[in-house]
Chains A and B, each alone.
Chain A
Amino acid sequence: MISTTHGLILAAVLFALGLTGLLARRDVIFVLMSIEIMMNAAGLAFVVAGARWGRPDGQVMFLFILATAAAEVSVGLALILALFRRARTLDVDAANRMRG
């Protein structure tokens, strides 16, 4: 039996890793993957909380997150393709033409 605390710590570590990747990575595919990691960290937190109180809500929420992640990946990959066609690169910093 894994304690709730351990599960939440794992979720927090995963979320922090994903956030770091999001802020530090310049390759747009890695940015997308970091977002996936963060979403799964959130899903893990839901599952752990559901197990803590013995209710199915947490797992239902995780299924929702999986569906959202699938939709997000399809839109995200389309955006990446569009970016590549326009800029001929996958560097997010290249897409900075909308400066104020």
Chain B
Amino acid sequence: MQDLLWLVPGLPLLGFLVLSLAGGRLSRPAMAAVGTGSVGASAMVATLVALGFHEPFRQVLWEWMRVGEFAPTIGFRLDALSLVMILVITWVGFLIHAYSCAFMAGDAGYRRFFAIMNLFVAAMLTLVLADNLLFLYLGWEGVGLCSYLLIGFWYQDPANGRAARKAFIVTRVGDTAFAIGLFFLIAQVGTLDIEEAMTRAGSISAATAAALLLGGAVGKSAQIPLQVWLPDAMAGPTPVSALIHAATMVTAGVYLIARTQALFALAPVVQTMVAVIGAATLLLGGIGALAQRDIKRVLAYSTMSQIGLMFLALGLGAWPAAIFHFMTHAFFKALLFLAAGSVTLSLHHEHDIFRMGGLWKSLPISFATFLIGAASLSGMPFVTAGFFSKESILGSAWERGVGWWSVALVGVLLTSLYIFRVVFIVFFGEAKTSVAPRRDVLLTLPMVALAILALVGGWIPIPVGVFEPHVGVASVVSMAGIVIAWSLRAPLAFPGVDFDGLYERAFVRPFLRLANAVGRDPADAVSFGPAWAAATAHRLASATQTGSLRWYAAGIVFGGVVLLAVVLWW
């Protein structure tokens, strides 16, 4: 069983290869079958591996390269942390793929969509299974590439291309820090093998390495100050948003910090920084979500905020709680996105929540599933998965100090406030638009499956730790949030926090000015000089082609005379 581990990322990669190389000859149902089936098979294999899991092990396929002592492998390592990750990624990914079969039906880029989605899942699985940081970085960049391709999936609209470039460039800032961190580790420790690097980490300046890795994690997980790309990433199709927010991409940063927590434990300053960044993002994301009108953007800010909660837990050293929350978050956030997608699909791609209303009667399944997702997100006691993971984070925050705990509590309040505000605006009140319900079993089944997971997911025993459920203040606070949300159904006038405008002024414009300034320096003369000379010579030669026969004759005579003179007097 354990030998099949390589198939977990291998099968989606195979799906990508089949779809991109031979997919043109497949019929549309066959494309969907290959795209969904490869992830489904991968989920099966992951489950088989999980059933036979006793202790961490490695599977080295081959040596990637060898430069002196430095020899990274193409190898996978499975332990409790990566086991939880692969199960969530493959199963949630599979449900999202199944949903996409119906959601993307009729789209011209059907094959391209499934090909990139498969590559996305394969890259994310590589990321979480890699046994060394270089292989992890390969998956890391693969995830970045696929997110770019999928956010800009409908590239005919220039705004989508712009959003895709923004996501790519902003995460690139973090990736650069990550890459420098890898160079630093090679120089200091001499290996990128995660286990060895963690055991040898005590002898080096762990703070520098941890801070650089944190830079990468902040970019990928859309934390302050690199969070600006996430709301714009909503330009992609809804299943893509679900995949990015629930199973892949944004959770990569959480995974990276949990994976290298030995390094962070050696650098308490950096670890506190993780908690501060998480707390700031938790609050700002929650406030930002209140100011949005687009249903998908609310969910985007919500993801930002929830990942902030995970970062807070990581920063407080409670990484099992963070991973637990990652799992339940994957269930209910994927569910919320899929339910929101089914709502917009039935409303002719209307995204503005204030043009919806009273939908609970016309879209009962979307309403029920969205409500379950919202309840799980705000942590309803006992009946939802979100309750258990949130309580475990709050519990560990309480142990670290009442300050951290109260920040997390404000986050909980904001969470139930913004999400139930959306529920009340979208599904209650009077109906404002005509509804054309889309009924498709492929849309409904993944939503129902995720709804069940969002309800009972908290009872799933996960091997990273044991969590004792207990009702605390947080449950009361989140109930209070729901009550306040009922009175906040009108559009709010405040614009949120304008990070985009700030970055535009602070970075983009000065950079463009600088680029314009250095774009015309003397060094360019070396390359522009010959080009100018050739163009001038061409203009002169072309001027002699007057088209006048008599000028040509005169030219021949002149040339003849000159030649004769040369021959006679030389």
Contact = CB atoms under 8 A, between A and B. Distances in A.
A binds B: yes
Interface of A: 19, 22-23, 26, 31, 92-93, 95-100
Contacts of A99: 545-547
A23 B550 CA distance: 6
A95 B551 CA distance: 12
Nearest to A97: B547
B545 A23 contact: no
A92 B543 contact: no
Among A26, A97, A98, A100, the one with the most B-chain Cβ atoms within 10 Å of its Cβ is A100
A62 B546 CA distance: 35
Given A96-B547, A96-B548, A23 B557 contact: yes
Contacts of B544: 100
Contacts of B548: 92-93, 96
Contacts of A22: 550, 553
Contact of B553 (A23, A95, A96, A97): A23
The range of chain B's interface size is 10 to 19
Given A19-B557, A92-B548, 17 more contacts: A22-B550, A22-B553, A23-B550, A23-B553, A23-B557, A31-B549, A93-B548, A95-B547, A96-B547, A96-B548, A96-B549, A97-B547, A99-B545, A99-B546, A99-B547, A100-B545, A100-B547
Contact of B545 (A19, A26, A93, A98): A98
Contact of B550 (A92, A97, A98, A100): A92
9 contacts: A19-B557, A23-B554, A92-B548, A92-B550, A93-B550, A96-B546, A100-B541, A100-B542, A100-B543
A98 B553 contact: no
Nearest to A24: B550
Interface string B528-570: 0000000000000111111111100110010000000000000
Nearest to B554: A23
Contacts of B541: 100
A96 B550 CA distance: 10
Nearest to A95: B549
Contacts of A92: 548-550
B226 to A, nearest CB: 56
Nearest to A19: B557
B565 to A, nearest CB: 16
A24 B518 CA distance: 56
Nearest to B557: A19
7 smallest CB-CB distances across A and B, nearest first, come from: A100-B545, A96-B547, A99-B547, A100-B542, A92-B549, A98-B547, A96-B548
A23 B561 CA distance: 15
A98 B548 CA distance: 8
Nearest to B538: A100
Contacts of A97: 547
B277 to A, nearest CB: 66
Among B543, B544, B553, B554, the one with the most A-chain Cβ atoms within 10 Å of its Cβ is B553
Nearest to B545: A100
A1 B544 CA distance: 48
Contacts of A95: 547, 549
Contacts of B542: 100
A19 to B, nearest CB: 6
A36 to B, nearest CB: 15
A30 to B, nearest CB: 12
A23 B545 CA distance: 17
B562 to A, nearest CB: 15
Contacts of B549: 31, 92-93, 95-96
